[in-house]
């Protein structure tokens, strides 16, 4: 069983956002999978996907604060800055966090831990709608 869909994520402010529900709402097919794998692949180079704590929202704030300290804006050493000071740092963050996740599926649900949620990292000041290619494969429950 293979299913592939484009998922559109509503425009987000710069920073990290919990998007587990926004993803699952667009993928009811997961419920039909007995054992399988969900691949999420964001088609952009200045946004990222990662997994982190789904409870306390300060985790998202601190993650943004710390990565900004590690990859400061406005450094005079950047050559790629046509679109502004947030341009090159956004590309670097995209590669550090990564653009793809592989999440196992067990009995119709993501096999994530109790505290895990899917984060979108929006690394531009004025990000646009982001598209994620969701590819689902596995054994169908009905078989």
Residue ranges that bind a copy of itself, judged by CB under 8 A: 2-4, 35-37, 39, 41-45, 50-53, 56, 58-59, 61-63, 65-67, 69-71, 75, 77-80, 82, 88, 91-92, 94-104, 106, 111-116, 119, 131, 133, 135, 137-139
Question: Shortest distance, CB of residue 39 to a copy of itself, whole angstroms?
Answer: 5
Question: Shortest distance, CB of residue 106 to a copy of itself, whole angstroms?
Answer: 6
Beta bridge partners of 110: 105
Please name which of 133, 132, 141, 131 lies closest in space to residue 105, comparing C-alpha atoms.
Answer: 141
With H, G, I as helix, E, B as strand and everything else as coil, classify residue 64: helix
Instruction: Return the exposure string of 106-143: e unless at least 16 CB atoms fall within 10 Å of the residue's CB, then b.
Output: eeeebebeeeebbbbbbbbeebeebebebebebeeeee
Question: Shortest distance, CB of residue 61 to a copy of itself, whole angstroms?
Answer: 6
Q: Which is nearer to a copy of itself, 10 or 65 (CB)?
A: 65
With H, G, I as helix, E, B as strand and everything else as coil, classify residue 25: helix
* Residue 52, token pair as written in the block: 């982190």
Q: Which is nearer to a copy of itself, 41 or 84 (CB)?
A: 41
Question: Shortest distance, CB of residue 68 to a copy of itself, whole angstroms?
Answer: 10
């Amino acid at each position: 069983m293979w299913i592939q869909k484009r998922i559109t994520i509503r425009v987000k402010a710069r920073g990290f956002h919990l998007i587990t529900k926004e993803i699952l709402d667009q993928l009811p097919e997961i419920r039909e999978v007995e054992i399988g794998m969900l691949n999420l692949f964001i088609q952009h180079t200045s946004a990222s996907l990662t997994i982190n704590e789904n409870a306390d929202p300060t985790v998202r704030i601190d993650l943004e604060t710390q990565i900004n300290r590690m990859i400061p804006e406005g450094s005079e050493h950047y050559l790629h800055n046509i679109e502004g000071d947030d341009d090159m740092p956004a590309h670097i963050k995209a590669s550090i966090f990564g653009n793809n996740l592989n999440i196992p599926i067990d009995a119709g649900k993501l096999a994530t831990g109790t505290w895990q949620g899917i984060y979108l990292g929006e690394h531009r000041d004025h990000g646009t709608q982001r598209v994620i290619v969701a590819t689902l494969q596995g054994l169908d429950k009905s078989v």
